[in-house]
């Protein structure tokens, strides 16, 4: 047989063995070691930071949810609402709407969202912050801005029959500032806020 | 604290952290690739493979190693995706179609990590960890090996020997990528990233809705995805997904990871050629371009001139609340200036001009600081070109690091810088002419064209990020982008290794009073200028049709 063919075959065979060995090291040992350490030391976080209410899992504090009236796509006034999500907060369809910053469809969507959010919360359109009318990158953003939580307070208080100052205090307690002063934007986790709201309404 | 001030602090913290590890990591990598000793685990690997780790290779042998290893990798990854439904831990996902499996295999082997699939509904546990994550390691190590071979070409004289590819590959994985990845992965889990081999898990929310929560060995892949400048997200939303990147700390950590090796390799280069100041000149050129782009994109994003952003009151479309404009811009520039391509926000929805800067970052050839390894060799090729231009201006034979840049050297460098522009421009032109580009657009007009241009730029430069409105999962684009990725990765490597061989064979020219001092700021300036002019001339017409037209219209 031709020596160059033999040579090529020899190199490919060595390459395949190298790949298999490195697959064991980086594709089996490495993830298993990391999983072992993670599961042992940070069990809750490694499994998705799940939140329980009355002993039942109701979500992950990292994954946003939709707060619509059951069985509809209309927002439920009793809950704080998250950002618009083009997938309806389905974690199996993450990603954004991908429209450009000047795209005519996006312009229309933003205008419509602004009108809807303003009317739904009974505030002026100028009070509606940007995060309330734009889709996030993941479509499962768990957070909203303190401003967006702020304009929802009166509507939520009324729908739940709660005093406004109490609900406002709840939002303040759940507003997180920048870690170390410069990491993260100020934000409110909607699921945590709504769980606290539910407890408040039940008492 | 105002968002702008917080952002300035964020960039300062990042630059400080990178500066802090520049010397120790750069020196460590120089020692790794120069050491005569083999670790116990490395000896096992060599024995299992039957390779002699001390055998020197000339450039054709080194190249054969690179190509053989990559070819086998493509085939292995292709087969793994095609049979994933028959393997355990499949999560019920089907086998990937042939064209998409080809595209993904080439994508991960070429360190591009372009994804025409959505991870959470396509790839099984086995494909993710034993297929995709493995290529995250080894494709990065291959890039570093080729860069080190080129550095040896400058450092060595009167020999054709460039080292041993298998040794460089194994050492890159075992001594550089693995240790850092383990630490980073544990930090990511501690901060909230998930790491498990569970099933998709359905729960009932407080409103009575059902929600499916995705499982995955995410943190382990996230660490190497960024460290190896790979960028292929575990989930479709990539580093915007809260399970991959849960907060501001992990965001900073991930940006740090994707920049740390590319920004430290110039130190390795300086060490290995025996003059660390040569490395400083290179890292300065990388740093200047990167910082300029960070400032430009952050500025435009905060100003949010786009019509929809003006109505909304901020450039928040396609961005997460926890990150916002500043950290999203920093991530976007860092990912496109390296060959990473992971995203924490969607570039398609950035302001028109920011999108242009991100495109330009890739068009520069990803050298500021570039991918692991590929950034350094790309920048050294540009240094050769800059030296050549300077030589023409004063009418003397150009030299770099004591090596003559003769006809053969400049031909190889010229071929190198022609490959990706040819792929980008021909690829985009073909897609537009055949109508396949238009049918895949989500946006219209100039922005729609930018989506196509971005796709072919990203693939040919092995970036992997996207104007993700571009519907890439068609037979045509899977195939063409796959070809762009393969040619954009391996053709330049051929020229780099041939150049390395030719340099290593030379005898060094002694320094004289007329030698261009390549360790001085003047040379850094010349280098940055040469990069800008070459890229500008090549891509300006294409940029004018897309992001410039869009940005100037608003």
What is the spatial distance between Cα B481 and Cα B456, in angstroms, rounded to a whole number?
7
User: By three-state DSSP, how is residue A175 classified?
Assistant: strand
Indicate the SS3 state at residue B370. coil
With contact defined as beta carbons under 8 Å apart, do B132 and B77 qualify? yes
Give yes or no for B121 touching A (CB within 8 A): yes
Which of A87, A137, A195 is the best mutation test for B, with the most CBs of B within 10 A? A137
CB contact under 8 A, B203 and A58: yes
In a mutagenesis test of the A interface, which of B92, B211, B344 is the best target, namely the one with the most A β-carbons within 10 Å? B211
B221 touching A (Cβ < 8 Å): yes
Tell me the C-alpha distance between A79 and A95, whole Å: 24
Whether residues B138 and A139 touch (CB distance < 8 A) is answered with no
> What is the pLDDT confidence band of residue A1, given thresholds at 50, 70 and 90?
low
CB-CB neighbors (< 8 A) of A128 in chain B: 313
- How many Å lie between the alpha carbon of A20 and the closest alpha carbon of chain B? 9
Instruction: In whole angstroms, give the CA distance from residue A132 to residue A117.
Output: 7
ipTM greater than cut 0.85 = yes
Which residue of chain A is at minimal alpha-carbon distance from B237?
A95
Chain A residues whose CB is inside 8 A of the B9 CB are: 181-182
Mean pLDDT of A133-143: 96
DSSP B142-189: HHHHHHHHHHHHHH--S--B---HHHHHHHIIIIIIHHHHHHHHHHHH
Sheet holding A187-189, edge to edge: A143-144, A187-189, A175-176
Sign of CA dihedral B405, B409, B414, B420: negative
Interchain contact A198–B (C-beta under 8 A): yes
Across the interface, of A27, A100, A107, the residue whose CB is closest to B311 is A107
With a CB cutoff of 8 Å and minimum separation 6, the contacts of B317 are A96, A97, A99, A101, A106, A110, A134, A135, B308, B309, B349
User: Which pLDDT does position A192 carry in this prediction?
Assistant: 97
Q: Which tens digit of pLDDT belongs to each residue from B500-532?
A: 999 999 999 988 888 899 999 999 999 999 999
User: Per residue in B288-338, pLDDT tens?
Assistant: 999 999 999 999 999 999 999 999 999 999 999 999 999 999 999 999 999
According to the model, what pLDDT value does residue B78 have? 97
Q: Which residue of A has its CA nearest to B320?
A: A136
Q: Which residues in chain B land under pLDDT 50?
A: none
Question: What is the distance between the alpha carbons of residues B296 and A9, in angstroms, rounded to a whole number?
Answer: 51
Extract the tokens encoding B16. 């400080």
Q: Which residues of B touch A182 (CB under 8 A)?
A: 1, 5-7, 9-10, 13, 248
Q: How far apart are CA B182 and CA B476, in angstroms?
A: 38
Residues of A in contact with B550 (CB under 8 A): 100, 102
A10, containing H or E segment: helix A3-23
What whole-number distance in Å separates Cα of residue A187 and Cα of residue B321?
7
Whether pLDDT at A84 is above 90: yes
Closest Cβ opposite residue A134 in set B120, B317, B444:
B317
CB-based burial, B166-199: b 16+ in 10 Å, e otherwise: bbbbbbbbbbbbbebbbebbbbbbbbbbbbbbee
Cβ of A67 within 8 Å of Cβ of B221? The answer is: no
Find, in chain B, the residue whose alpha carbon is nearest to that of A67. Answer: B207
Q: B215: Cβ–Cβ under 8 A, 6 or more apart, which residues?
A: A48, B91, B125, B194, B196, B197, B198, B199, B200, B201
Residue in B64, B223, B320 nearest the CB of A141: B320
Task: State how far the Cα of B65 lies from the Cα of B31, in Å rounded to an integer.
Answer: 22
| Structure confidence at residue B511 (pLDDT) | 86
Whether chain A has a CB inside 8 Å of the CB on B200: the answer is yes
Given this model, what pLDDT does residue B91 score?
87
Residue B430 burial by CB count (10 A; 0-12/13-18/19+): exposed, middle or buried?
A: middle
Interface check for A114 against chain B (CB to CB < 8 A): the answer is yes
Which of helix, strand or coil describes residue B89? coil
* DSSP conformational letter for B404: E
Chain B hits for A47, Cβ within 8 Å? 194, 196, 198
Residue of chain A minimizing CA distance to B353: A101
Which residues of A fall within a CB distance of 8 Å from B314? 129-131, 134
Residues of B in contact with A34 (CB under 8 A): 182, 185-186, 189, 195, 217, 219-220, 223
Contacts of A114 (CB under 8 A, 6+ apart): A125, A128, A132, A133, B311, B312
Cβ distance B248 to A183 less than 8 Å, yes or no, reads: yes
Where in chain A are the domains?
3-43, 49-202
Phi, psi values for residue A179, rounded to 5°: -65, 135
Short-list B165, B502, B138, B328, CA closest to A14 = B165
Cα three-residue angle B283-B286-B287, rounded to 5 degrees:
85
Give the pLDDT score at A100: 93
Residues of chain A contacting B468 with CB distance shorter than 8 Å: 95-96, 98
pTM (two decimals): 0.96
Q: Is the dihedral of CA B76, B78, B82, B85 positive or negative?
A: positive
Q: Closest Cα partner for B38 from B146, B170, B156?
A: B170
Those residues with Cβ within 8 angstroms of residue A73's Cβ, 6 or more apart along the chain or in another chain: A88
Q: Count of CB atoms within 10 A of residue B529's CB?
A: 13
* Long-range CB contacts (within 8 A, 24+) of B178-181: B178/A25, B178/A26, B178/A30, B178/B137, B180/B223, B180/B227, B180/B257, B180/B260, B181/A30, B181/B137, B181/B220, B181/B223, B181/B224, B181/B227
CA dist list (Å): B31 to B36, B66, B266: 9, 22, 14
Two structure tokens written together for B218:
């995410």
Q: How far apart are CA B133 and CA A46, in angstroms?
A: 18
Q: How many whole angstroms separate alpha carbon B512 and alpha carbon A54?
A: 81
Whether A137 and B344 lie within 8 Å, measured CB to CB:
yes
Distance CA A19, CA A11 (A): 12
Residues of chain B found within 8 Å of residue A198, distances taken between Cβ atoms: 206
Tokens standing for residue A43:
């069990």
Report the Cα–Cα distance between both ends of chain A, in Å, rounded: 86
CB pair distance less than 8 Å for B64 and A106:
no
Average predicted confidence (pLDDT) for chain A:
95
Distance between CA B409 and CA B413 in Å, rounded?
6
Cα separation of A84 and A89, whole Å? 9
Whether chain A has a CB inside 8 Å of the CB on B202: the answer is no
Q: What is the DSSP string of B111-153?
A: T----SS-GGGT--HHIIIIIIHHHHHHHHHHHHHHHHHHHHH
Do residues B543 and B359 lie in contact, with contact meaning Cβ atoms separated by under 8 Å? Answer: yes
């Amino acid at each position: 047989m031709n020596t160059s063919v033999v040579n090529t075959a020899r190199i490919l065979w060595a390459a395949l063995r190298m790949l298999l060995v490195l697959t064991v090291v980086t594709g089996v040992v490495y993830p298993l070691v990391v999983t072992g350490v993670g599961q042992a030391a940070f069990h809750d976080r490694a499994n998705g930071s799940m939140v329980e209410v009355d002993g039942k899992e109701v979500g992950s504090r990292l994954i946003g949810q939709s707060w619509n009236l059951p069985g509809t796509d209309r927002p439920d006034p009793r809950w704080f609402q998250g950002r618009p999500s083009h997938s309806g907060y389905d974690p199996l369809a993450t990603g954004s709407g991908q429209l450009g910053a000047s795209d005519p469809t996006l312009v229309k969507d933003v205008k419509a969202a602004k009108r809807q959010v303003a009317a739904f919360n009974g505030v002026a359109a100028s009070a509606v912050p940007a995060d309330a009318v734009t889709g996030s990158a993941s479509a499962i953003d768990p957070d909203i801005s303190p401003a967006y939580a702020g304009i929802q307070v009166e509507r939520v208080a009324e729908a739940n029959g709660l005093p406004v100052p109490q609900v406002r205090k709840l939002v303040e307690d759940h507003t997180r500032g920048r870690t170390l002063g410069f990491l993260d934007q100020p934000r409110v986790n909607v699921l945590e806020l709504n769980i606290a709201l539910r407890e408040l309404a039940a008492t | 604290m105002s968002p702008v001030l917080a952002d300035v602090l964020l960039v300062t913290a990042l630059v400080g952290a990178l500066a802090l590890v520049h010397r120790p990591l750069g020196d460590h990598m120089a020692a790794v690739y120069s050491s005569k000793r083999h670790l116990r685990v490395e000896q096992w690997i060599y024995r299992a493979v039957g390779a002699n780790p001390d055998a020197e290779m000339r450039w054709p042998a080194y190249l054969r190693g690179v190509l053989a290893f990559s070819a086998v990798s493509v085939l292995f990854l292709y087969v793994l995706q095609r049979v994933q439904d028959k393997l355990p831990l499949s999560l019920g996902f089907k086998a990937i179609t042939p064209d998409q499996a080809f595209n993904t295999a080439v994508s991960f082997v070429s360190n591009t990590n372009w994804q025409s699939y959505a991870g959470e509904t396509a790839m099984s546990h086995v494909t993710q960890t034993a297929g995709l994550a493995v290529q995250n390691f080894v494709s990065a190590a291959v890039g570093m090996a080729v860069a080190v071979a080129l550095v040896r070409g400058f450092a060595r004289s009167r020999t054709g020997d460039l080292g041993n590819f298998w040794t460089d590959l194994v050492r890159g994985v075992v001594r550089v990528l693995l240790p850092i990845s383990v630490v980073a992965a544990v930090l990511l889990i501690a901060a909230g990233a998930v790491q498990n081999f569970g099933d998709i898990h359905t729960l009932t929310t407080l409103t009575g809705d059902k929600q499916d929560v995705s499982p995955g060995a995410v943190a382990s892949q996230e660490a190497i995805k960024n460290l190896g400048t790979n960028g292929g997200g575990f989930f479709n939303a990539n580093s915007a997904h809260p399970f991959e990147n849960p907060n501001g700390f992990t965001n900073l950590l991930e940006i740090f990871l994707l920049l740390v090796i590319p920004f430290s390799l110039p130190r390795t280069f300086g060490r290995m050629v025996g003059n660390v100041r040569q490395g400083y000149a290179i890292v300065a050129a990388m740093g200047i371009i990167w910082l300029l782009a960070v400032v430009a994109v952050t500025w435009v994003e905060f100003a949010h001139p786009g019509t929809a952003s003006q109505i909304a009151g901020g450039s928040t479309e396609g961005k997460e609340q926890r990150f916002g404009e500043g950290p999203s811009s920093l991530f976007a520039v860092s990912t496109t200036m390296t060959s990473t391509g992971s995203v924490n926000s969607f570039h398609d929805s950035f302001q028109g001009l920011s999108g242009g800067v991100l495109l330009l970052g890739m068009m520069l050839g990803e050298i500021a600081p570039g991918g692991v390894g590929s950034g350094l060799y790309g920048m050294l090729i540009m240094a050769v070109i800059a030296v050549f231009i300077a030589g023409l201006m004063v009418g003397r034979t150009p030299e770099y690091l004591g090596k003559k840049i003769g006809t053969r050297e400049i031909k190889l460098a010229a071929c190198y810088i022609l490959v990706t522009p040819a792929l980008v421009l021909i690829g985009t032109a073909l897609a537009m002419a055949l109508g396949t580009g238009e049918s895949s657009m989500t946006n219209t007009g100039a922005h729609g064209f930018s989506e196509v241009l971005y796709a072919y730029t990203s693939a040919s430069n092995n970036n992997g990020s996207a104007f993700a409105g571009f519907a890439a999962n068609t037979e045509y684009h899977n195939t063409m982008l796959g070809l762009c990725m393969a040619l954009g990765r391996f053709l330049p490597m051929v020229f780099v290794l041939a150049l390395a061989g030719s340099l290593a064979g030379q005898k060094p020219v002694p320094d004289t009073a007329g030698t261009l001092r390549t360790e001085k700021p003047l040379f850094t300036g010349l280098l940055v200028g040469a990069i800008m002019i070459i890229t500008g001339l090549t891509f300006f017409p294409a940029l004018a049709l897309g992001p410039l037209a869009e940005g100037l219209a608003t």
